[in-house]
Amino acid sequence: MKNDGFTFRKRLRSFRYAFNGIRLLITKEHNAWIHCFAAVCVVIAGVLLGLSRMEWVAVVIVIGAVLAAEAVNSALEAIADFVSPEYSEAIKRTKDLAAGAVLLMAIAAAIVGGIIFFPKLIALC
């Protein structure tokens, strides 16, 4: 990859590519739809339950981390399928590891959600 130096036009173009990646994630990746639905539910619950500033920080970080992990997983799967359209044990292992990373992040996000939301829900009872 050739490095032609820094220009603002190139930086703006890179943002356009990044936003297109987010658009592709949200419009084309079925698993991302599930994560987005969960994120919307969490945000609504957070508003209704009055999360503190630090609780919002934690929620935003884990939502972003899960979506970023899903984007990396989707990109890895796309390139793996392109490079090796036929079955390959190495490609399967790679894709399974990437999917496992998303699952680990989703589990961590659920734990953070439990730590934040369970006490608030119990207090309502």
With CA atoms as reference, report the closest residue to 52 among 109, 122, 119: 119
Going from the C-alpha of 53 to that of each of 11, 60, 106, the distances in angstroms are 32, 11, 22
What angle do the packed helices 30-49 and 89-124 form, to 10 degrees?
A: 20
Q: How many CA atoms lie within 13 A of 4 on its CB side?
A: 5
Active site residue 86: no
The residue annotated as part of the active site, out of 29, 55, 70, 86, is 70
Give the active site residues: 70
